[in-house]
């Protein structure tokens, strides 16, 4: 199911928490933001995202507990479930410029991760796509 591709792209962050959100959670965020699996694939491949996709990043990060309502990015839960070889990318990407626009903040965090851990990011999308 292409919907799971979205979880690969935008739940790269959500995988970093102890309890990954259930599929209903993913669907709710997608529905609320008008996002499709094709949007996730486009972001993974090109780094381009619609406003809906940007806010979907925010929705997932907030629900996953890796971003506070004030826009603080929480490194510790991010590092719990990702390979050590990409920890530095996450450390670097937590240090992005703050913003009151949490959709933009979540988007820029994911852009940073995509750029610093490109192979990992794209592999996650591919893995989810193959498991459909």
* Domain of residue 79, residue span: 3-130
Q: Tell me the pLDDT tens digit for each residue of 5-50.
A: 334 444 554 444 334 445 577 789 999 999 988 888 889 889 999 9
Q: Which three-class secondary structure state does DSSP give residue 93?
A: helix
| 3-state SS, residue 73 | strand
pLDDT in tens, 77-109: 989 878 999 999 999 999 999 999 999 999 999
- pLDDT tens readout for residues 53-62: 999 999 999 9
Token reading at 127:
């893995």
Residue 8 in contact with residue 54, Cβ under 8 Å?
Answer: no
**3-state class (DSSP) for residue 80:** coil
Q: How many domains are contained in the chain?
A: 1
**Which residue in this structure is represented by tokens 């690969």?**
8
Global pTM value = 0.79
The CATH number for 37's domain is: 1.10.238.20
């Amino acid at each position: 199911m292409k919907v799971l591709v979205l979880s690969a792209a935008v739940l790269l962050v959500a995988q970093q928490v102890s309890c990954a959100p259930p599929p209903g959670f993913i669907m709710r965020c997608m529905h609320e933001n008008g996002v499709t699996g094709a949007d996730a694939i486009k972001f993974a491949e090109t780094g381009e995202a619609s406003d809906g996709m940007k806010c979907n990043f925010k929705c997932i990060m907030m629900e996953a507990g890796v971003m506070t309502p004030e826009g603080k990015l929480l490194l510790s839960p991010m590092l719990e479930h990702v390979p050590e070889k990409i920890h530095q990318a996450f450390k670097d990407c937590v240090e992005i410029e703050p913003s009151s626009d949490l959709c933009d903040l979540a988007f820029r965090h994911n852009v940073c991760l995509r750029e610093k851990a490109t192979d990992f990011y794209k592999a996650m999308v591919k893995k989810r796509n193959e498991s459909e």
